[in-house]
C-alpha cells in the first residue's frame, strides 16, 4: 500500500540533521511506528523554507514543498501581506505534480488548517482522508474569548500593524482558513478523529462522511516517566503548558493565580512552559489584567524539550490547562500519561479525553474563580487526586498505546481503500 502524507512539518526527516523539535513530536512518533509496517510504502510531502530535491531517509521518501521567504525585513513584511488565495494557487500545481510522481493508493492529509485539502478536487481516482488536529472555524468563534478585540487593538502599536504582526491580521487569517476548512470538510469522504467534538463538527459539515477513531502516539519520555508522589510539595507546584495565542487562556491563568494570592493562604508556584517574560502575548495579558506574573507566583519556563517537560510534570503537584478552545490537547494527554492530577478547561474535545471527577477535573473555560477554587480543593485532597491520576494514566496508556494506534490507522486505511475500490485490499 503506497501512502502519501501531506503534513505541515518535515516529520522524521529532521533527524537526519540531528535537529530537535519542541512541537509536532506526535507525528514523528506515528511515523516511526508506521515505518515498522512492511506493507506500507510511506511518502511525506511537507512545507519547507528551503529549496531541496526529494530525498529518502530511513526508507521514507520526502518531498519538500518550498514556501519562499525573503531574507530582508521588508521582504518579511511583504510575505506576511500575501493573500492566502495567491499562495494556494501557487502551491496547488506543486501538490498535483507530487501526486502524479508518487502515484499513491491513498492520500492522508494531516490537519485541515493548510492548503493541502485543495488536492481532493484533482484526484478523484485516489481516496483522500483528513486527520483532524484543530478546527479553525470554531476556533475563530472563540478567538477573542479571553481578551476583547478592542482591548487587544488599543495595546498594539502602529508599527506592529505595518509589520503585519498584529492580532487582527492573525484573526483574518484564521477566518479565511476556517472558511476554506469548511469547504474541505464539506467534500471530505473520510475523516480520522478522536473526540466527540470533532465527530460532531465534521458531521455537521458533512453527515455522509465516514468517520474513524484514530488516536495519537505521544512522545517517548511521557510513557517512561511516572508521577509517584506520596504527598504534595510544601510549596504546591502547578504547571501549565501554553503556546502564544490570544485564545490560549493565559489571562485566565493570571486571574486565577491572583485569586489564590488574594483569598487563600496556599503556598504555590505556577510554572508556565511555552511562554517567556519578554513575549508580546505575555505582556499583552499582563497589561490587560493589570497582573504581573512575578507578583502572583507565576514563573515563565519558556520552551522545553520532551525530556525536560516530562521531568517537570513528574515534579509537579497539579497540571492545569486553561485554553478557551481545544480539540484533544496533547499537553493534557501527556500529563495524564505521566499520572499527575489534571485540571482542565471544559472546552472543545477535552471531555472526551478526561472524564470529570473520574480522571481529573473539568471547569468552564475562562472561569478564574472555578479554576482557583478547584486548585484549592485538589491541594486539600492528595489521596483522591492520586487515585484520579492513576486512573488517568491507565486510560492514557491504553489510548496512546503505539500498537493500538497503528492498528486503528492501518484498519482505517484498508477500509478506505476497500470502500474506494469496491474490492478487498491485500496489503
pLDDT higher than 50, residue 176:
yes
Whole-number pLDDT of residue 23:
54
The answer to whether the beta carbons of residues 301 and 271 sit under 8 Å apart is yes
Whole-number pLDDT of residue 15:
79
Residue 72 CB: number of other CB atoms within 10 A?
8
Which of 316, 331, 336 minimizes the C-alpha distance to 237?
Answer: 316
Least confident of 139-148, 166-175, 223-232, 369-378: 166-175
Per-residue pLDDT, averaged over 196-206, amounts to: 98
Q: What gap in Å lies between CA 183 and CA 175, rounded to an integer?
A: 13
Q: What is the mean pLDDT of the chain?
A: 92
pLDDT higher than 50, residue 76:
no
Percent of the chain whose predicted confidence (pLDDT) is above 70: 93
Whole-number pLDDT of residue 426:
39
Please write the tens of the pLDDT for every residue from 314-333.
999 999 999 999 999 999 99
Domain boundaries, the chain: 2-217+401-421, 221-399
| pTM for this entry | 0.91
Which of 220, 62, 215, 65 minimizes the C-alpha distance to 132?
Answer: 215
CATH says 2-217+401-421 is which class? alpha beta
Residues 6 or more apart whose CB falls under 8 angstroms from that of 171 comprise 140, 143, 144, 149, 246
Rg of the chain taking only CA atoms, in angstroms: 22
Judge: domain 221-399, CATH 3.20.20.10.
Answer: no
Whole-number pLDDT of residue 86:
79
Whole-number pLDDT of residue 17:
72
Residue 427 CB: number of other CB atoms within 10 A?
12
Fold equal for 2-217+401-421 and 221-399: yes
Whole-number pLDDT of residue 20:
59
Per-residue pLDDT, averaged over 171-194, amounts to: 96
Please write the tens of the pLDDT for every residue from 37-67.
999 999 999 998 888 899 999 989 999 998 8
In three-state secondary structure terms, 267 is: coil
Please write the tens of the pLDDT for every residue from 27-37.
999 999 999 99
Please write the tens of the pLDDT for every residue from 139-174.
999 999 999 999 999 998 888 877 777 898 899 999
Residue scoring higher pLDDT (334 or 169):
334
Least confident of 57-71, 222-236, 299-313: 57-71
Please write the tens of the pLDDT for every residue from 253-287.
999 999 999 999 999 999 999 999 999 999 999 99
Percent of the chain whose predicted confidence (pLDDT) is above 90: 81
Whole-number pLDDT of residue 424:
40
pLDDT higher than 80, residue 91:
yes
Whole-number pLDDT of residue 342:
99
Per-residue pLDDT, averaged over 68-93, amounts to: 66
Amino acid at each position: 500500500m503506497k501512502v502519501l502524507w501531506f503534513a505541515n512539518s518535515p516529520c522524521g526527516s529532521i533527524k537526519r540533521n540531528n535537529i530537535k523539535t519542541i512541537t509536532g513530536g506526535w507525528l514523528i512518533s506515528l511515523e516511526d511506528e508506521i515505518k515498522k509496517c512492511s506493507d506500507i510504502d510511506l511518502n511525506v510531502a511537507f512545507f519547507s523554507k528551503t529549496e531541496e530535491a526529494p530525498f529518502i531517509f530511513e526508507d521514507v521518501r520526502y518531498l519538500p514543498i518550498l514556501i519562499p521567504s525573503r531574507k530582508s525585513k521588508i521582504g518579511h513584511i511583504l510575505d506576511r501581506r500575501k493573500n492566502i488565495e495567491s499562495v494556494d494557487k501557487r502551491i496547488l500545481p506543486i501538490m498535483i505534480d507530487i501526486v502524479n510522481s508518487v502515484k499513491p493508493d491513498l492520500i492522508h492529509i494531516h490537519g485541515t488548517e493548510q492548503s493541502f485539502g485543495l488536492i481532493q478536487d484533482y484526484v478523484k481516482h485516489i481516496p483522500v482522508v483528513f486527520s483532524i488536529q484543530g478546527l479553525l472555524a470554531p476556533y475563530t468563534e472563540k478567538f477573542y474569548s479571553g481578551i476583547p478585540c478592542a482591548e487587544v487593538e488599543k495595546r498594539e502599536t502602529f508599527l506592529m500593524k505595518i509589520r503585519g504582526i498584529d492580532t487582527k491580521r492573525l484573526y483574518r487569517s484564521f477566518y479565511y482558513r476556517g472558511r476554506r476548512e469548511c469547504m474541505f470538510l464539506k467534500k471530505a469522504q473520510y475523516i480520522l478523529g478522536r473526540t466527540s467534538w470533532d465527530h460532531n463538527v465534521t458531521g455537521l459539515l458533512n453527515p455522509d462522511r465516514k468517520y474513524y477513531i484514530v488516536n495519537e502516539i505521544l512522545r517517548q519520555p511521557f510513557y517512561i516517566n511516572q508521577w509517584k508522589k506520596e504527598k504534595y510539595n510544601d510549596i504546591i507546584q502547578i504547571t501549565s503548558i501554553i503556546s502564544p495565542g490570544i485564545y490560549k487562556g493565559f489571562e485566565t491563568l493570571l486571574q486565577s493565580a491572583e485569586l489564590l494570592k488574594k483569598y487563600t493562604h496556599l503556598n504555590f508556584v505556577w510554572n508556565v512552559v511555552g511562554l517567556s517574560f519578554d513575549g508580546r502575548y505575555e505582556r499583552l495579558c499582563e497589561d490587560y489584567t493589570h497582573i504581573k506574573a512575578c507578583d502572583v507566583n507565576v514563573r515563565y519556563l519558556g520552551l522545553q524539550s520532551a525530556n525536560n517537560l516530562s521531568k517537570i510534570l513528574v515534579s509537579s503537584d497539579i497540571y492545569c490547562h486553561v485554553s478557551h478552545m481545544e480539540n484533544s490537547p496533547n499537553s493534557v494527554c501527556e500529563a495524564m500519561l505521566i499520572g499527575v492530577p489534571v485540571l482542565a478547561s471544559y472546552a472543545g474535545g477535552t471531555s472526551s479525553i478526561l472524564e470529570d471527577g473520574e480522571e481529573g477535573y473539568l471547569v468552564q473555560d475562562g472561569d478564574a474563580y472555578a479554576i482557583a477554587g478547584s486548585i484549592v480543593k485538589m491541594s486539600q485532597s492528595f489521596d483522591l487526586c492520586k487515585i484520579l491520576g492513576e486512573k488517568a494514566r491507565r486510560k492514557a496508556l491504553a489510548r496512546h498505546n503505539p500498537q493500538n494506534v497503528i492498528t486503528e490507522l492501518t484498519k482505517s486505511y484498508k477500509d478506505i481503500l476497500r470502500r474506494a475500490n469496491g474490492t478487498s485490499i491485500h496489503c
